[in-house]
Amino acid sequence: MHVVALQLDIVWEEKAANFSQVRALLEKQPPRPGSLIVLPEMFSTGFSLNLAITRQTPEREDEQFLSALAVDYASFVVGGVVSPGTGEKGANEAVAYSPDGALIARYRKIHPFSLGGEAGVHEAGSQIVTFKWGRFTVAPFVCYDLRFPEIFRDASRQGADLFIVMALWPVKRQQHWLTLLQARAIENQACVIGVNRTGNDPLYSYAGRSVAINCHGIITADAGEQEGVLTAALDPEATAAWRRDFPALRDAHPPVPAAVPAV
C-alpha cells in the first residue's frame, strides 16, 4: 500500500496558487490508483489566522478541490482545511475523500496552538475520527495534536494502526517533530505519516522533513527539506503481526482490543 505525501512550499494566503502547485507536483509523479495522498495542514493558505481568507466559503472550495483530486487519481486524499465553526470562529480540520470523491472523514483539531494565537480563532474539536484504507484503519491528527499522546492511544483503542499527522511545524522545533512522530509509532505499534510544509511565511521558517515511519519507529522514507513528493510503501500485515507478537498494547491499562481484520 502506497502513501504519497506532498511537501509544499505554500504560497501565503493564495489558494489558487497552492491548488495549482499541488496539481503540478502530482502531474510530475502521478500516484498509482488506490494510493493515499496526504497534504499538509491548511495547505491552501499556510498558517494564517485571517479567517476572511482561510475559512472556506459555503461552496467549500478547498474540499471540492480535494474531492476532485481523489477522483482524478483514483486515490484516497487527506488534506487540511479551515471550515466555518461556531459564531465567528473557524475550525482547523483534516478531511478525507475516497476515490469516488465522497467525504469519508472529518476530524477537527483537538488542540489549537495557543502559543500562536490559534485558540482565539479556531475552536477545538473533541472527537477521534478514523477511516478505512485497505487493511489499515487511519486516524488523522493536526500539528500541535502530536504533543498529546493520550489522543493517539485513544485512536489505537478505536482500531487505528496508521496515524496521519499533517502539520505546519517550524524549523526551530524540528527535532521535536521527528522524535514525537517516532514516539507515537513506537508506543502505539502503529505506522505514522508526518506531512509538513517547507519554505517561509511572514512569521516562521519550515524545513519539511515529511516522513513515513513503520510500527517499530523506524523512518523508512524522508522528504528532506525541499518542496517535493514523498512516496512510501506501508505493510499492514507486518504492523498486525508486531501487535500480535509483542503484546504491549494488550498489556496496557485498559488494553487496546485486538484488531478486527478488514473485509
Which residues have a catalytic role annotated? 41, 109, 143
CA distance linking residue 245 with residue 102, whole number of Å: 36
47: Cβ–Cβ under 8 A, 6 or more apart, which residues? 41, 116, 168, 201, 203, 204
CA distance linking residue 82 with residue 31, whole number of Å: 26
CA distance linking residue 171 with residue 96, whole number of Å: 27
Reply yes or no: is the peptide bond before residue 254 cis, omega within 30 of 0: yes
Rounded to the nearest 5°, which phi and psi values hold at 127? -125, 135
229: Cβ–Cβ under 8 A, 6 or more apart, which residues? 4, 5, 6, 7, 25, 26, 28, 29, 223
DSSP code of residue 260 = P
CA distance linking residue 139 with residue 150, whole number of Å: 13
